Amino acid sequence: MRDTVMVMTPAPAGRRRGPSKGDLREKAILDTARELLARKPLAEITIDELAAGAEISRSTFYFYFDSKLAVVVALLHGLADELGRDAGPWLDGTGPDAPALRRSLSALAAIWRDQGRLIAGALAAAPGCPPIARWRAGLREAHVDRLAARIARDRAAGLAPDGPAPRVLAELIDDLRTAAFAAATDPEALVDDLVTVELRMLYADFPETALGRMIGQAP
Amino acid sequence: MRDTVMVMTPAPAGRRRGPSKGDLREKAILDTARELLARKPLAEITIDELAAGAEISRSTFYFYFDSKLAVVVALLHGLADELGRDAGPWLDGTGPDAPALRRSLSALAAIWRDQGRLIAGALAAAPGCPPIARWRAGLREAHVDRLAARIARDRAAGLAPDGPAPRVLAELIDDLRTAAFAAATDPEALVDDLVTVELRMLYADFPETALGRMIGQAP
DNA sequence: GCGCATAGTCGACACACTGTCGAGTTTCTC
DNA sequence: GAGAAACTCGACAGTGTGTCGACTATGCGC
């Protein structure tokens, strides 16, 4: 695969050199992939199509990328930042701050709306494609870490009730988001309900005693 | 594909006829599939292996099944009943009946423990394989329908607070279960936490007023 | 201008897996 | 034991993948 790392071009002092023919081709492949992903799932996209879209032969495709999944990985790289953005205020905050959570989820929903196929395709390919699995794991861990820390903080401050270990609860919330957005036709329509549900999961005041009494009952 | 429907054999009055050679072969293929799925994901299993496991040639495989996915569908059929079993008392019950919910989730977790690869493979193949998609949709809908009805019932009886539309909430819970079990290494270790979380999602006593006050605050 | 390295391009090939066909063999049934 | 149905297989065609070696284009030092 062609080096994706942008090697510092010698920069001949004077004129700025435009992108090389190869850079253009690479971009064309990426654009084609994005465009195709908007229309059909990753599994149905073939290297032939990618090559055709970039107006090169199939074998030339391999000059730029190792495989179809390598293209996905490249596409994914640009997405990692986006996915984390706007989550800061919520994750670094304290207590049931619904507006912050809502903003965080809205941003996430917008990304799912625009790039759902890409993400879904990536998730489906993850088992069996280590780079994608790593990408997913890294993203998930980053979110879970911060959310778990937030939960621990809230509990220590008496703002949130006890319950599942912070990490486990954070994982459940992360899973819920992914599954819900992946299944939704209109991710953005889900935001408000997701806010409610996540707040319940985190802050539900479900008295131990009452719960204990209820558990005692037979159905 | 060989007729899977058990045609009533003419039953020659006298002796009971044992399974035909073909029945045995079919079972051998199914068994091989189950066995391979315990070791690696569906995508890595090839028809050659399935055929070899059943000690037939690859082309003979096609006498029994249309494709690898057809085998999965057959395997899935046996699973549908299991997946619904033990959920009755919870789904038909009323109020935060934790023990019933726990039993329902325990049974589900056991299935995921034993057949996780099969289910995960099926879910991954669902987009792009209508029969599997239908299977999944049917199962999901059955669960969502009953759970949504339960939610509506509880709300009408004043046992559960308002919140997302019953159907949406039910979908979120279904999504959460699937995602959580799919991601877990040990599904059964998750049961207790899932009970807590689902009860919170359904019955969280998160006072409107208190929530309202909190929403008012800036982070 | 020439020579040469590097970038870019492609057709042809080898391979893996899928699914079909027709011809063969076995097994039931009358 | 004849004929139908069940079963089996090798050979083939199709599709998608990835590699190779030869060929052309481009930039650069001289």
Instruction: Judge whether residue A12 has pLDDT over 50.
Output: no
Measured between beta carbons, the chain B residues lying within 8 angstroms of A124 are 124, 127
What percent of chain B clears pLDDT 90, i.e. is strictly above it? 66
Question: CB-based contacts of B40: which residues, under 8 Å, 6+ apart?
Answer: B117
What pLDDT digit, counting tens, does each position of B112-143 carry? 999 998 898 888 888 778 888 889 999 999 99
Tally of structural domains, chain B: 2
pLDDT tens profile A43-100: 899 999 999 999 999 999 999 999 999 999 999 988 988 888 899 999 999 999 999 9
Structure letter (DSSP) for residue B97:
-
Is the domain of B11 the same as that of B58? Answer: yes
On whether both A103 and A20 belong to a single domain, the answer is: no
Kindly tell me if the per-residue pLDDT of B99 is higher than 90.
yes
Question: Where do we find the tokens 């023919």?
Answer: A21
Lowest mean pLDDT among A178-182, B38-42, B159-163: B38-42
CATH number (domain holding residue A26):
1.10.10.60
Is the CB of residue A94 inside 7 Å of nucleic acid strand D? no
**Residues A4 and A111 placed together within one structural domain of the fold:** no
DSSP result, B49-83: HHHHHTTS-HHHHHHH-SSHHHHHHHHHHHHHHHH
Tokens of B212: 């309202």
Same structural domain, B28 and B96: no
Chain D bases near protein Cβ (<7 Å): 6-11, 15-21, 26, 28
Give residue B3's pLDDT.
56
Nearest by CB to residue B179, choosing from A124, A176, A196, is A176
Q: How many CB atoms lie within 10 A of CB B154?
A: 19
In a domain, A21, yes or no: yes
**Between B210 and B159, residue with greater pLDDT:** B159
pLDDT of residue A9: 39
Q: Mark whether B192 and B133 lie in a shared domain.
A: yes
Indicate if CB(A23) is under 7 A from strand D: no
d(CA B182, CA A89): 30
Task: Find chain A residues with C-beta within 8 A of B172's C-beta.
Answer: 176, 180, 193-194, 197
Please state, as a whole number, how many other Cβ atoms lie within 10 Å of the Cβ of residue B201. 23
Assess if residue A191 is contained within a domain.
yes
Selection from B129, B9, B80, B63 nearest residue B54 by Cα? B63
A84 touches chain B (CB under 8 A): no
Q: Is the CB of A9 under 7 A from strand C?
A: no
pLDDT band for position A186 (50/70/90)? very high
Among all chains, which residue has been given the structure tokens 């040639």?
B57
What are the distances in angstroms from CA A47 to CA A36, A43, A61, A124, B130? Answer: 11, 11, 8, 18, 24
- How much is the pLDDT for A19? 66
CA atoms within 13 A on the CB side of A97: 20
Question: What's the confidence (pLDDT) of residue A129?
Answer: 82
Check pLDDT > 80 for residue A7.
no
| Same-domain status, B24 and B98 | no
Q: Which residues form the domain of B23?
A: 1-66
Last residue of a domain, one of A38, A66, A94: A66
Give the tens place of pLDDT for each residue, B16-52: 456 777 789 999 999 999 999 988 888 899 999 999 9
| Band of residue A22 on the pLDDT scale cut at 50, 70, 90 | confident
Average pLDDT over every residue of A116-143: 89
Say how many CA atoms lie within 13 Å of B53 toward its Cβ: 18
Other beta carbons within 10 Å of B122:
23
pLDDT confidence bin for A20, thresholds 50/70/90:
confident
Q: What per-residue confidence (pLDDT) applies to A2?
A: 60
Give yes or no for a contact between B98 and A213, defined as CB atoms under 8 angstroms apart. Answer: no
Here the CATH number for the domain that contains residue B212 is: 1.10.357
Read off the pLDDT of each residue in A200-205 and give the average, rounded to a whole number: 89
CA–CA separation, B123 and B120 (whole Å): 5
Extract the tokens encoding B184: 């877990």
Confirm whether A71 is domain-assigned: no
Rounded to whole angstroms, the Cα distance separating B155 from B149 reads: 10
Q: Are A51 and A9 part of one and the same domain?
A: yes
B180/A203 CB distance under 8 A:
no
Note the pLDDT of residue A99: 95
Q: Is residue A74 part of a domain?
A: no
- Rounded to whole angstroms, the Cα distance separating A214 from B135 reads 35
Nearest CB to A97 within list B120, B172, B219: B219
Asked which of A66, A95, A116 is the last residue of a domain, the reply is A66
- Is the minimum distance from the CB of B10 to strand C below 7 Å? yes
| Contact call for residues B179 and B193 (beta carbons, < 8 A) | no
Residues from chain B contacting residue A175 (CB–CB below 8 Å) = 176, 179-180, 183
d(CA B102, CA B32) in angstroms, rounded, equals 33
Q: What does the mean pLDDT of chain A come to?
A: 86
Cα–Cα dist B122/A24, whole Å:
39
Residue with tokens 């936490």: B193
Residue B49 included in any domain: yes
Q: Over the stretch B64-97, which tens digit does the pLDDT of each residue have? A: 999 999 999 999 988 888 888 899 999 999 999 9
The domain boundary residue, chosen from B37, B66, B95? B66
What's the whole-number mean pLDDT along residues B156-177?
95
Q: Using the CB atoms, write b or e for A183-208: b if 16+ within 10 Å.
A: bbeebeebbebbbbbbbbbbbbebee
Q: What is the pLDDT of residue A17?
A: 53
Cα–Cα distance for residue pair B89/B139, rounded to 1 Å: 18
pLDDT of res. B68:
95
- The DSSP output letter for B18 is -
Indicate if B11 and B102 belong to the same structural domain.
no
Question: With contact defined as beta carbons under 8 Å apart, do A131 and A71 qualify?
Answer: no
Q: What is the token pair recorded at B128?
A: 């792009």
Structure tokens at B199: 């009860």
- What confidence score (pLDDT) does residue A206 get? 59
d(CA A104, CA A83): 10
Same-domain status, B87 and B62:
no
For residue B72, being part of any structural domain is answered with no
Asked if the C-beta of B159 comes within 8 angstroms of chain A's C-beta atoms, the answer is no
Q: Which residues does chain B have within 8 Å of residue A46's beta carbon, measured at their own beta carbons?
A: none
Same domain, B103 and B27: no
Task: Evaluate if residue B217 carries a pLDDT over 80.
Answer: no
Q: Are residues B196 and B95 in the same domain?
A: yes
In a domain, A77, yes or no: no
**Does residue A121 belong to any structural domain of this protein?**
yes
Q: What is the pLDDT of residue A18?
A: 58
For chain A, what's the residue count?
Answer: 219
Round the average pLDDT of chain B to a whole number and report it.
86
Lowest mean pLDDT across A127-136, B86-95, B206-215: B206-215
Residues B207 and B100 in one domain: yes
